[in-house]
Amino acid sequence: MAHIRGKRPKLALFPTKSVVPTPGATEDDFVIYASYRGNSASGYYGTLKVVRTTDGKLLYPFEGAEQIGPFGSMADAISAAHFRGDMIVNGDLKSPEL
């Protein structure tokens, strides 16, 4: 399973040069940062950041990515963000994004 960090995404530095993904990557080669934003009045939205650690590639968010939510609770928003992160990791394992 990919590493899942706490509620708030942390700022990280990534390589600026393009590096080809490592063949044979596993779920352990990704970090998923899942959290939420919003409140009970406006609804809760999942926030997500997915990083492939072998080359520092930020896989999510990307320009045009749809919002995750709204949901009725913080837990539902975070759960949906985790689910989306797992889908992104599994997709990248099957067909690595360069």
Q: Does 16 map to a domain?
A: no
Q: Does 14 map to a domain?
A: no
Q: Does 62 map to a domain?
A: yes
DSSP symbols for the chain: --EEE-SSPPP----SS--PPPTT--GGGEEEEEEEEEETTTEEEEEEEEEETTTTEEEES-TTPPPEEEESSHHHHHHHHHHHHHHHHHHHHHS---
What pLDDT, on the 0 to 100 scale, is given for residue 4? 57
Q: Which amino acid is at 27?
A: E
What pLDDT, on the 0 to 100 scale, is given for residue 80? 98
State the total domains in the chain. 1
Q: Does 18 map to a domain?
A: no
Q: Does 44 map to a domain?
A: yes
Q: Does 23 map to a domain?
A: no
Q: Does 63 map to a domain?
A: yes
pLDDT exceeds cutoff 60 at 91: yes
Q: Which domain holds residue 43?
A: 3-9+28-94
What pLDDT, on the 0 to 100 scale, is given for residue 61? 95
pLDDT tens sequence across 33-87: 999 999 999 999 999 999 999 999 999 999 999 999 999 999 999 999 999 999 9
What pLDDT, on the 0 to 100 scale, is given for residue 3? 58
